[in-house]
Structure 1
Amino acid sequence: MTKPHDTAFSSFLKDFAENVGKFHKAANVLAGIRNEDIDVGATPKTLVLRRDKVELFRYEPTAEHTVGTPVLIIYGLIGRYTIADLQSDRSLVRGLLAAGIDLWLIDWGRPGRGERWLTMDDYVDDYIHEAVQRICRATGHDKVTLLGICEGGVFTTCYAALHPEKVKNLVLTVTPIDFHADIDDPSADHGLLNIWTRSLAPEDIDRMVDTLGVIPGEFMGSIFSLMTPMRSLTKYNVDLIDTVGDKDKLMKFLRMEKWLADRPDHPGAAGRQWLKELYQENRLVEGRFALSGRIVDLRAIDVPVLNIFALGDHIIPPTCSKALGGKIGSTDYTEVPLLVGHVGLFVSSKSPGKLTKIIAEWLQARDG
């Protein structure tokens, strides 16, 4: 008679053999894929301006313009803009171009110790301002629409408040405004990054910045991985093996991993402001955040504002983004919550088309 433990062991051997076969298959498939095959941020664009390591690009149009004012995409310093252009069928960039948007982009490049002294003042009042002026000269417009993503949304918000004469519309996606709004959020998992950042001793932040000159990209990458530990543990030995038989899924997986691994260092002085003055001291929403000697007054933003945030966001809690509505001077304020995560807003199989449609229709209604 077969004993139960014999049956269990036989089942284990069978599963083990199947998994070994999958690993061999995965290894063979991956061996045939080159780095250049995993193309992220591949939508054609033209370099218009380079200053230091910062570059301004204009995307090549793919449709007749339906919106007059040019749109400038601004991503943060913590990651790379390529998440908005991950692959052809999951690309906010391609979707907006197809909708007839004149699209521009700032690429911050790869800051190192040489950029250790750059502050948010430099990025907002210097690099962004110069890019806006260049776009205006090139297009004949006196204003631009700003499309900010995550930390880049904070930059664009500050710019709109300090330079309202240069901004036609403001579009924000997964942008933190009230960095302490998560304290009263009933979903504790939404604010893990905020809780961790607030728990840092200010002097430890100073030590890291003074010693390294930057906040290392690898360090921030490890923090984000620790926020979803089970996902981080299983994606290479479960998710990858399960997708290796589907080339489309495999390439999406590899592009995501390429984007995650491509995390530049964050300039030290700007990082000090980001962590201490915003995350810890919450100066922006309290009207105490200053750039270039001027207070960033959110009430000075009186242009149309579209604020899109993710309800499943574990990096920027929805409450931190929603806070913007009651603080600005504009009466034309639109708030759109989407049932996705922070990254899923741009790469989910359902989200890119929806996100593109929301932004394009909103802009066309105000600037068609």
Structure 2
Amino acid sequence: MNDPVREPDASARIPPPLVRCWTDAVKQAAEKARAMQPAADSNGDPKRHRRRWFNRWGQATETYLRSPEFLQVLKQHIDTLIATKRDGHSNRSAADINNSSLPEDVRALAANFRRLLPQGTKTQRTAIAAESDRNVPPHPKGPPDKAPKWATSFDVVHEEPQMRLLHFSPSRIQYAQPVLVCFALVNRPYILDLKENRSVVRRLLDRGLDVYVIDWAAPGDADASLRLDDYIGSILDNTVNVVCEQSNASQLSLLGYCMGGTMTAMYTALHPERIKNLILMATPIDFDGHNGLLNLWARRETFDVDGLIDAFGNCPGEFLQFVFQLMKPVQNFAEKQLSYLENAGDAAFLDDFETIERWSNDTIPVAGETFRDFVSMLYQQNRLVNDQMVLAGESIHLASITCPILLLVAQRDHLVPPESTLAIQNHVASQDITTLSIPAGHIGLAVGSRAQQKLWPKATDWIANHSTER
């Protein structure tokens, strides 16, 4: 069945002064990294040398992104963005955004990254320069111009204005409890079924599990008033009922990814009798740590979430995408580009690369009041682990969770530090908690080769072993 195209949201332009300040900092970090980097051994591995160089460059850049200086710059320009929108000076259209998905200074940095590479990789730079002069496929930018295709066929078994429920059925259902997947509200869930050989959905189906996935709709202006309790206490609760009715089951296994995992943990605390197993992928639970940049940037003294939502209504997808890219500038605007050029002759690599790029740029807005709730209650007040979370007048106690829990953790996750997920172990009553961890990033936990070959066979075995055979 075809997946409907979702229109990109129009948002105000990111202030150019912020981009210039950030770009200058990245360049300064490159100089610091170059000074730390010894000359490459002429007989050594140039890729290994380059990897070390990028690591040092990335570390130097992150140091700046954590500094009080940058936090002040970030605050000033977010406040400017809010004021510009509030005062009615922003009239940028969706077409403008599509034609310029990255600010000019950032595109210039990405285009000229070769001159920032250390002298020790001169031979490599020459080869890359020659490669870039060839007929290399254009780098994918922006959301796809046609509806994304899931790798696996599905049926839409339920629809509401804010979501649709996709059913992926195995050739033979072997377990009584279905698996319901709740994705984050920011990106699209087809990252879980991107390609046949990079599909979490396929791994679940191969194990005989009956799979349902919530596909959240992009909120419009009329949805700006939706609260977090609307998504959890109403929409998610109704979806659980639909899945149980469809599969003739009294319980199900609930799998949440990132923000979706936080939502499923709260739902499980409210309705422990409905959940057979809880599986959390790269899920933020404790928001008080200092390791994650988002935890630092989202603090009250830096991020005026009330001002943003009061001005915009919904949180623009363009704003979120820029923040995500800003967190790892070296990887996003230099290392990734170099890798693309190096592998220009590898059709399989290019196909994987472009597919993931299009997904990562396919962000959707988040309903305004839901975003306000999530940032204020969790990132800024850390209510969930402080046992102070209340939705629609009902207290949420993680200690109410008693079911078996599987924690899937990416050791190099820059969005959700592993300790943020692992913290749930200190707050639940569950006696059966298993952790599976791999050296991967936030998205690699789903689509990476190591995840598909090593982690997901163990994860699906765990779910099967904790389910009832039919």
Same fold (TM over 0.5): yes
CA pair 242-45 structure 1, distance change in 2 beyond 3 A? same
Q: Secondary structure at the match of 1:265?
A: coil
Q: Distance in 2 between matches of 1:200 and 1:262?
A: 30
Q: Which amino acid aligns with 1:122?
A: D
Aligned partner of 1:43 in structure 2 is: 152
Aligned partner of 2:268 in structure 1 is: 160
Matched, 1:309 2:419: no
Aligned partner of 1:249 in structure 2 is: 349
Aligned partner of 1:4 in structure 2 is: none
Q: Which amino acid aligns with 2:295?
A: N
Q: Distance in 1 between matches of 2:331 and 2:205?
A: 33
The equivalences for 1:1-368 within 5 A come to: 19=129, 22-27=132-137, 40-61=149-170, 63-180=171-288, 182-183=289-290, 190-198=291-299, 200-201=301-302, 204-234=304-334, 237-367=337-467, 368=469
Q: Which amino acid aligns with 2:176?
A: G
CA pair 20-69 structure 1, distance change in 2 beyond 3 A? same
Q: Distance in 1 between matches of 2:278 and 2:401?
A: 9
RMSD: 2.4
Q: Distance in 2 between matches of 1:296 and 1:22?
A: 54
Identity of aligned residues (%): 33
CA displacement, residues 11-51 of structure 1 (integer Å, 9 cap, x when unaligned): 98997697355444114898xxx956x95533111001111
Q: Distance in 1 between matches of 2:264 and 2:425?
A: 15
CA pair 246-167 structure 1, distance change in 2 beyond 3 A? same
CA displacement, residues 329-368 of structure 1 (integer Å, 9 cap, x when unaligned): 1111112222211111112121123232122111221214
Aligned partner of 1:3 in structure 2 is: none
Q: Is the 8 A contact 1:84 1:92 kept in 2?
A: yes
Q: Compute the displacement of 1:88 (Å).
A: 1.2
* TM-score, length of structure 2 as denominator length: 0.69
Q: Compute the displacement of 1:303 (Å).
A: 0.9
CA pair 14-257 structure 1, distance change in 2 beyond 3 A? closer
Q: Secondary structure at the match of 1:111?
A: coil
Q: Distance in 1 between matches of 2:330 and 2:128?
A: 23
Q: Is the 8 A contact 1:307 1:336 kept in 2?
A: yes
Q: Is the 8 A contact 1:113 1:212 kept in 2?
A: no
* TM-score, length of structure 1 as denominator length: 0.88
Q: Which amino acid aligns with 1:26?
A: V
CA displacement, residues 214-260 of structure 1 (integer Å, 9 cap, x when unaligned): 11111111111111111122256422222221111001110111111
CA displacement, residues 49-80 of structure 1 (integer Å, 9 cap, x when unaligned): 1111310111132x322322000000011211
Q: Distance in 1 between matches of 2:138 and 2:369?
A: 45
CA pair 254-235 structure 1, distance change in 2 beyond 3 A? farther
Q: Which amino acid aligns with 2:298?
A: T
Q: Is the 8 A contact 2:205 2:211 kept in 1?
A: yes
CA pair 208-125 structure 1, distance change in 2 beyond 3 A? same
Q: Distance in 1 between matches of 2:154 and 2:209?
A: 14
Q: Is the 8 A contact 1:179 1:279 kept in 2?
A: yes
Aligned partner of 2:93 in structure 1 is: none
Q: Distance in 1 between matches of 2:215 and 2:341?
A: 34
Q: Which moved more, 1:333-342 or 1:146-155?
A: 333-342
CA pair 322-27 structure 1, distance change in 2 beyond 3 A? closer
Q: Distance in 2 between matches of 1:13 and 1:282?
A: 50
Q: Distance in 2 between matches of 1:255 and 1:110?
A: 21
CA pair 364-35 structure 1, distance change in 2 beyond 3 A? same
CA pair 245-207 structure 1, distance change in 2 beyond 3 A? same
Q: Distance in 2 between matches of 1:17 and 1:338?
A: 33
Q: Which amino acid aligns with 1:250?
A: L
Q: Secondary structure at the match of 2:254?
A: strand
- Unaligned 5+ residue runs, structure 2? 1-120
Q: Compute the displacement of 1:137 (Å).
A: 1.2
Q: Which amino acid aligns with 2:187?
A: G
Q: Compute the displacement of 1:112 (Å).
A: 2.4
- Unaligned 5+ residue runs, structure 1? 1-10, 184-189
Q: Which amino acid aligns with 1:77?
A: L
Q: Compute the displacement of 1:110 (Å).
A: 1.1
Number of equivalenced pairs: 345
Q: Distance in 2 between matches of 1:14 and 1:366?
A: 51
Q: Distance in 1 between matches of 2:322 and 2:262?
A: 23
Q: Secondary structure at the match of 1:209?
A: helix
Q: Distance in 1 between matches of 2:295 and 2:196?
A: 33
Q: Distance in 1 between matches of 2:245 and 2:139?
A: 49
Q: Distance in 1 between matches of 2:255 and 2:124?
A: 52
Q: Which amino acid aligns with 2:454?
A: K
Q: Secondary structure at the match of 1:156?
A: helix
CA pair 22-336 structure 1, distance change in 2 beyond 3 A? same
